[in-house]
Amino acid sequence: MITRKEMQMLAALRRNSRTSLTRISKEINVSKSTIFDRLKRHEGGLIQKHTSLIDFRKLGYNARIFIAIKTSIENRNDLQEYFAEHRNVNSLFIINGGFDFFVDAVFKDAKDMEDFLHELRTRNHIQKLQTHTVITDIKLESFLEDV
């Protein structure tokens, strides 16, 4: 069970994962060593990964797409492996609601994105495909920032 103090620690890390342990310690009134121990205990479990949110457009990746995909049962494992290894796939989810996968992919431009979609349609026995191009990011990774 997660304590209230641990939730506050996680909220501080969600707001800024580079916040010092000293600062978190002062903010939630828990010793720095306790915070360090709790972080170590939760890494690889509750805390899956420390990462940075990147503005892909500032790196020259100007096309981002969300794709819902339905395929045959026989092709699910191959398609999952294809997405898991593809360099442009940012996130991959298994979903329900008439689809099998939800893919978040990032590309340099619309041409690269269309080439990916063309390859996907011709290579992987797609039964149903729904695409949504991202125009503007409004809110990213903010759940549990305020506890």
Question: Fold for domain 56-133?
Answer: Alpha-Beta Plaits (3.30.70)
In this prediction the pTM is 0.88
Report the residue count for the chain: 147
User: Please, what are the averages of pLDDT over each run of 10 residues along the chain (147 residues)?
Assistant: 93 93 96 95 92 94 97 95 97 97 98 96 88 95 90
Buried b (16+ CB within 10 A) or exposed e, 122-131: eebebeebee
Say how far apart CA 63 and CA 56 lie, in whole Å.
9
pLDDT given for residue 125 in this prediction: 86
Closest CA to 142 of 28, 43, 53, 27: 53
